[in-house]
Amino acid sequence: MKIIMLGAPGAGKGTQAKKIAAKYDIPHISTGDIFRANIKSGTDLGKKAKTFMDQGLLVPDELVVDLVVDRVGQDDCSKGYVLDGFPRTIPQAEALDAALAKVDQKMDYAINVEVPDENIIQRMSGRRACVDCGATYHIVYAPTKKEGICDNCGGSLILRDDDKPETVQKRLGVYHEQTQPLIEYYTDKNILVEVDGTIDINDVFTEIVKVLGE
Ligand code: AMP
């Protein structure tokens, strides 16, 4: 089962992607996580990506397409995978489709987690990330047991630069302009699934499972 998660930044697509990956035992591939890992370890890719990410801009297509095409070709992806944060532009979607077509494959579902902008801004300002392991929390919706301390590894929590209100506004603008057209793209391919992302996290997942099957 090959799945794409669509939705604005902060819509909760990462949370749902992780739940899907666990239930169906397929890899969760987050391009945002891949870039953050590269930034942390100081690679060239990380250095290049950071300049765009910190401004709320998309990393150029050429830095992300090969990385994903290569990743989905690895052995652990043979049963499928869930892509979180990719594609984010029409050229990325076309490049993915072209790469899959070469091996006689295509995506099965594009799940759009729909949340209005007002809710997104409120959600993202409460988001906190661990400086050490990258785990994410929310001060209201997913708090840590001890304030400011990661449940996972004991690291300190911060508001990521790309979650700051001015950057969130910018990211939403970029989303509407560059990523939202993918909804029509996948509607035309008959694989779009719309879910309401404003309801409880577990209820969103129940809706997704209804479509993907038990
Ligand atoms: P995310 O964690 O998915 O919200 O991604 C964080 C940031 O990484 C985004 O705001 C972009 O700057 C960059 N990024 C992640 N995935 C992509 C992609 N598919 N194309 C371009 N930039 C990306």
Q: Which atom of ligand 1 is nearest to the CA of 86?
A: 19
- Sketch out the chain's domains with CATH numbers: 2-115+163-212 (3.40.50.300)
SS3 state at 133: coil
CA–CA separation, 87 vs 31, rounded Å? 9
Would you say the CB of residue 6 lies under 6 angstroms from ligand 1?
A: no
Q: What is the pLDDT of residue 164?
A: 87
pTM of model > 0.85? yes
Q: Letter for the amino acid at 130?
A: C
Which strand (E) or helix (H) includes residue 202? helix 201-212
- Please work out whether the CB of residue 35 comes within 6 Å of at least one atom of ligand 1: yes
**Peptide bond connecting 165 to the previous residue in cis, omega within 30 degrees of 0:** no
Amino acid at 174: V
State pLDDT tens for residues 24-65: 999 999 999 999 999 999 999 999 999 999 888 999 999 999
Half-sphere exposure of 88 (CA within 13 A, CB side): 25
For the four alpha carbons of 169, 175, 180 and 186, in that order, the dihedral sign comes to negative
- 162 has pLDDT over 90: no
